[in-house]
Amino acid sequence: MPQLRQDPVTDNWVIIATERSKRPHDFPVYRENRRGPENCPFCSGKEECTPPELWAYREAGSQPDQPGWWVRVVPNKFPALKIEGSSERQREGIYQTMDGVGAHEVIIETPEHEADFSRLGLEQVKEIIRIWRDRYQDLRRDHRLKYIQIFKNFGSVAGASLEHPHSQLIATPMVPPGFWEELRGIQRHASDTGRCIVCDLVEHETQKEERVFVRSDRFIALCPYASRFPFETWILPREHRHDFGSISEPEIEDLAGVMRASLHKLGTALQSPPYNLVLHTAPVNVDGVEQYHWRIEVIPRLTIVAGFEWGTGYYINPTTPEIAAESMREALMQ
């Protein structure tokens, strides 16, 4: 019998499709046609191919837009949003419009083209998280910006147009409606019980263990109860934290280990599937959002989102999170 499961934060339902049940080896293995480092604008030595760098961690004495960096941030060459312009709304007949004000940056995660993000050294992953935090803290000082979205598309099926390891940041002048939907769910639970539903979820999952597959003192990685996608993964701070931008140094060190192990295990269990990694955190320059509890979502692209999902917002997941988490626990770090 198919099962419907409800997300405890948003109250949305997910269909766990037992009639179409899929285990890890049932998914097709996706093989990327790699183009190699030739003409790659993100490689060390090709700094002139990107817009001037915004920020980098680089060797003492090395110059901006020259080699010597190990993590480097540049503006996106084809930005979805731009920093110039006005966030004033204009009417166009019955419609409303505004300038596409915001920021769109690329975080080049390593100078090495062929590096695999999930197998980078632990120190390098810490540096990537630190530079995410730095850009986050810098951009939030622009009071026109209301939300900072950090994400990573891995593999062309997941939307990556360049194969050199990189993540992206887009800052928008408005708060995504999905954030308010989650916050409403959290506030509903808090006014009923006085507690944060996400803290409750972390505690419940930590005790049960069936959906958890990596943990440290400060973070936990699990496949959520109402997973919309096979092997959907959430990485959560175990203590209540609403704002990614104020992550502490010990938290960065813990998160690096949990994130690296999670992606490494995913790559082993499913043979390097394409995926999207997405930060969900509180908006910036907006009051009253401290009840939110931030997380990172990793969504492997194993199924196709089609007409039913577009029409209803309900997802059909052929793999239970319990089976997915079991595979992830068994996947060894190689």
Residues with catalytic function = 166
Query: Among residues 11 and 249, whose Cβ is nearest to a second copy?
Result: 11
Residue 332 CA to residue 301 CA, distance in Å, equals 21
Query: Among residues 15 and 70, whose Cβ is nearest to a second copy?
Result: 15
Q: How far is the CB of 85 from a second copy (least distance, A)?
A: 6
Residues 176-215 contacting a second copy, CB under 8 A = 176-178, 181, 197, 200-201, 204, 208
Q: How far is the CB of 191 from a second copy (least distance, A)?
A: 16
What residues contact residue 26 under an 8 Å CB cut-off, 6+ apart?
none
Which residue type does 250 have?
P
Query: Among residues 70 and 179, whose Cβ is nearest to a second copy?
Result: 179
Q: How far is the CB of 6 from a second copy (least distance, A)?
A: 4
Q: Which stretch binds a second copy (CB under 8 A): 131-139, 246-254, 255-263, 311-319?
A: 311-319
Residue 325 CA to residue 313 CA, distance in Å, equals 24
Residues 12-31 contacting a second copy, CB under 8 A = 12-13, 15-20
Identify which of 3, 15, 12, 6 has the alpha carbon closest to the alpha carbon of residue 230. 15
Which residue type does 268 have?
T
Query: Among residues 52 and 178, whose Cβ is nearest to a second copy?
Result: 178
- Is 278 exposed, middle or buried, given 0-12, 13-18 or 19+ CB atoms closer than 10 A? middle
If one asks whether residue 299 binds a second copy (CB under 8 A), the answer comes out as yes
Member of 174, 190, 286, 333 binding a second copy (CB under 8 A): 174
Residues 86-145 contacting a second copy, CB under 8 A = 89, 92-101
Query: Among residues 11 and 32, whose Cβ is nearest to a second copy?
Result: 11
Residues 36-95 contacting a second copy, CB under 8 A = 78-82, 84-85, 89, 92-95
SS3 38: coil
Query: Among residues 278 and 289, whose Cβ is nearest to a second copy?
Result: 278
- Beta strand pairing call for 315-317 and 13-16: parallel
**CA atoms 255, 261, 265, 266: torsion sign:** positive
Member of 118, 153, 320, 327 binding a second copy (CB under 8 A): 153
Member of 46, 64, 65, 149 binding a second copy (CB under 8 A): 149
Report DSSP state, residue 258: H
If one asks whether residue 323 binds a second copy (CB under 8 A), the answer comes out as no
Member of 27, 117, 225, 234 binding a second copy (CB under 8 A): 225
Residue 278 CA to residue 176 CA, distance in Å, equals 14
Q: How far is the CB of 304 from a second copy (least distance, A)?
A: 4
For 180, the token pair is: 């308010």
Q: How far is the CB of 156 from a second copy (least distance, A)?
A: 8
Which residue carries 């499961």 as its tokens?
A: 5
SS3 159: coil
Residue 297 CA to residue 301 CA, distance in Å, equals 13
Residue 327 CA to residue 322 CA, distance in Å, equals 9
Query: Among residues 10 and 66, whose Cβ is nearest to a second copy?
Result: 10
Q: Which stretch binds a second copy (CB under 8 A): 51-59, 170-178, 249-257, 265-273?
A: 170-178
Radius of gyration of the chain (CA): 20
**Cα 247 vs. chain centroid, distance in angstroms?**
15
What number of chain residues touch a second copy (CB under 8 A)?
A: 78
